[in-house]
Amino acid sequence: MSRADERVERRDRDRERTAWGLKPGARRPALPHPFSMTWRDGLFLHWPADPGALEHHVPPPLELDTRDGRAWLSILPFVLARAGIRGSPGFTRLSVPELNVRTYVRFRGDPGLFFFSVDVDSALLANLVGGLSRLPVSRARMHVEGDDERVAFSSSRPGSEDEHDWTGARFAATYRPDGRVFYAEPDSLEYWLTARRRLYAPGGRGVLSAEVAHAPWPLRPAAVTVHENTMFAANGLPEPSGEALAHYCGELELTGSVPRWLRRR
C-alpha cells in the first residue's frame, strides 16, 4: 500500500470514528449496532444533587458518579424519530415522544447512565424496549408541538392500574434555543453530562449494558419554562433545588447496540 493510500485509509477511519463520537485513533464500540434513530427537538435539563441523598437510589453493583463532589439528576424530553433496524424502510419505523429521568454512574470503573424512568407515547415500544433492555419503560400520554423558535412538550403517566388515571408522573415545559451551537470540550461539565454512551441496568444475571453511538452533540443554550414537574417525586427521588443547566439539540442521528449481560465482578 502506498503512503497516499495509507493516508486515505487513515482519513476514512478517522471520519468513521468521528461519526461514532470518538477522537481520531480511539477504538470503536465493541458491540454490533443494528438499530438507528434520530433525536429531534430535545432538551437536556440537569440539576446538581447531594450524593448522600441520591446514592441509595442507585442499585449495586453500580456506583454513583460525581463531579466536583456533586451528583447530577437529569430530565430529557425529546422526540425519538425513525427508530428501527438500520437500513429498514420508513414504514417499519416508529416516531414517538420520549421522556427520561437519569443519573450518572460507574460500573467496574467505566462511566455510564442509570435510568430511573423512561416514558414513551407507545405501548408497543414500551413493552418491546422494556422486555429487551430491563429499562423501566412505561407508556405515557404525550403531546409535542412547536417550530424552529419554540417547543411545547407535555407528558402524563398513569398513576394506577386505572387506564383513565393519568395523574402519576407529569412533566410540561416550553423551551427554545437561546444561543449558538457549540460542542462540549472533553474536560467540561457539559461533556461529562452528555457524552456518555453506555447505559447500565442491574438484574439477576448481572448488569445489562447497551451502547449508543453518535457524532458530538450540537448543543445550544436553552431558555426553558417548566410548567409542571412531578418526575422526581414519582420516582421517589430527592427534589433538586435551584435552576437547571439547560441545553437544546435540534437533531442528531444515533445508532444503538444489542444489549449484553456483564458479570457483576
Domain boundaries, the chain: 1-30, 35-262
The pLDDT score that the predictor gives to residue 203 is: 85
At the topology level, CATH places domain 35-262 in Acetoacetate decarboxylase-like (2.40.400)
The pLDDT score that the predictor gives to residue 149 is: 80
Q: Residue 250 in contact with residue 39, Cβ under 8 Å?
A: no
The pLDDT score that the predictor gives to residue 205 is: 79
Q: Using CA atoms, how far apart are residues 146 and 5, in angstroms rounded to an integer? A: 48
Q: Which of 56-60, 92-96, 221-225 has the lowest mean pLDDT?
A: 92-96
pLDDT at 254 over 60: yes
The pLDDT score that the predictor gives to residue 21 is: 47
3-state per-residue secondary structure call for the chain: CCHHHHHHHHHHHHHHHHHCCCCCCCCCCCCCCCEEEEEEEEEEEEEEECHHHHHHHCCCCCEECCECCEEEEEEEEEEEEEEEECCCCHHHCEEEEEEEEEEEEEECCEEEEEEEEEEECCHHHHHHHHHHHCCCEEECEEEEEECCCCEEEEEEECCCCCCCCCCCEEEEEEEEECCCCECCCCCCHHHHHHCCCEEEEEECCEEEEEEEEECCCCEEEEEEEEEEECHHHHCCCCCCCCCCEEEEEEEEEEEECCCEEECCC
Per the omega criterion (within 30 degrees of 0), is the bond before 202 cis?
Answer: no
The pLDDT score that the predictor gives to residue 127 is: 83
Mean pLDDT along residues 60-86: 96
The pLDDT score that the predictor gives to residue 9 is: 47
Average pLDDT of the residues of the chain:
87
Span 128-177, pLDDT tens digits: 777 777 789 999 999 999 877 899 999 999 865 555 555 579 999 999 99
The pLDDT score that the predictor gives to residue 247 is: 98
Q: Residue 19 in contact with residue 8, Cβ under 8 Å?
A: no
pLDDT at 3 over 70: no
